[in-house]
Amino acid sequence: MAHENIRFPRNHMAIRDEYFYYFDERNDTLNQKVSDGATAFTYPLDPPLGGNAVISVEYDGFNFWTLQEGNTSEDVVIKKWLVSNYICEVVDTIELAHSADHKFNSSSFSLEFYNTTLVTTVSGRTSQITLAGYADYVDPGTIITLGPNSEGVYENVTVTGTLNTSNSFGLGFYTFNTYEAGTKVYFPKSIWLVNNFLYNSAGGSLYKITLPNKQITEVIADEDFEYVDASCFYNTGSEQYILYVLGTTVRFLNIDSLTNEKSMLLDNIKNDQSTGITVYDIKVKGDTLYRLQNKATYFGTDYTFSTYNYQFSTIRPFVDSITVDVNPKILPSNGINVAEIQAVVRDQFNAPIQIKSVTFSDSDATGFISSTFVYTNHYGIAASVYKAGTIPGNVTITALTTQYD
């Protein structure tokens, strides 16, 4: 019984539209595959990768970005690639070389990027643009990609400052082409590099490298990052996170507060319920988290693949647990006394779920529950009351909730 899908020979992936991508250092190609593993297209690389395997890859909506080891095991190289005229070519390179202050050894990086659209049409020789969203993340010096327009043309523009409104920006030079309202806009903001060093010593850290100046602006010390193989950027529209896999959980690091706000349990564990399965890369598309693995467990059976394949996890909140408590737990069987019932409904992030229906029932033939159908409140709690029956014995209170949405 096989559960292989994209059948990647390399342990990294990117997702663009409905396709999956990986870089092959042996053939110096960018390979495009559909979800059943069939190769859709192969793009030659210019220049070649140079023999060093790609460790991690990101896609920002317009460009691919790759992470490779540099000249030594304490250096890394990040390259920005553009697919144009059926060739994938390097358009920028960031070299992070070891020094007296820093050493670099990484298994993963995340690219913080934002995609939006133009509010109004930009004519040729215009020095102003107005964005539909994410204007708060644009600073002077930000390089923005406009396009492609209706003629398939794109160009990069540099922001010099904010104009009369909060979402309008002046440019460093005039645009060359016309871009209609609704044209897509892309801009990368920062690179978040998982580092197996803390500055120049052994340890774990997360480096923030701002773009386009390529400067290290933040170093987050945490020994957990020394054990991270997979990470990615996740944008909810209102909050931005770096997701990273640690063991059998994925953690959500808020990039504004730099705190782990929540975590989610993964099913990357063998049937013995103690041996973890390595996740080599993760990507988010919609509400789905794709995990790249070469092993998986299905219905109590462990499988090892000859290739790397994706497994699914949903990051849309869903009912993961419901717990019931009754107070007091002992009542006289007099048909008078009552006990309070509380059911707490939580999602896979261990957060309470609001406005979720809970149905209560009891095993007492003579007692009863006052409200058998209740919605959870702001704290994920559905409450009711049980009134004692007249026949002594054990009574079982049951709470049931169902995921309809």
By CB neighbour count within 10 A (0-12 exposed, 13-18 middle, 19+ buried), where does 304 fall?
exposed
Task: Report pLDDT for 50.
Answer: 86
Relative to beta strand 357-362, strand 397-401 is antiparallel
Q: Which of 10, 2, 38 is nearest to 305 (CA)?
A: 2
| In the predicted structure, residue 159 carries a pLDDT above the cut 50 | yes
Task: Report pLDDT for 239.
Answer: 94
| In the predicted structure, residue 67 carries a pLDDT above the cut 60 | yes
By CB neighbour count within 10 A (0-12 exposed, 13-18 middle, 19+ buried), where does 286 fall?
exposed
| In the predicted structure, residue 170 carries a pLDDT above the cut 80 | no
Pairwise CA distance, residues 140 & 365, whole Å: 72
35 near 6, Cβ under 8 Å? yes
Rg, Å, the chain Cα set: 26
Pairwise CA distance, residues 351 & 376, whole Å: 13
pTM, two decimal places: 0.88
Q: What angle do CA 233, 238, 241 make, to 5 degrees?
A: 25
| In the predicted structure, residue 164 carries a pLDDT above the cut 70 | no
Percent of the chain with pLDDT over 90: 87
Backbone angles phi, psi at 14, to 5 degrees: -130, 155
| In the predicted structure, residue 287 carries a pLDDT above the cut 60 | yes
Q: What angle do CA 223, 225, 227 make, to 5 degrees?
A: 95
Mean pLDDT of 250-260: 96
Per-residue pLDDT tens over the stretch 190-222: 999 999 999 999 999 999 999 999 999 999 999
Backbone angles phi, psi at 56, to 5 degrees: -150, 150
Per-residue pLDDT tens over the stretch 388-400: 999 999 999 999 9
Mean pLDDT of 278-294: 97
Task: Report pLDDT for 1.
Answer: 40
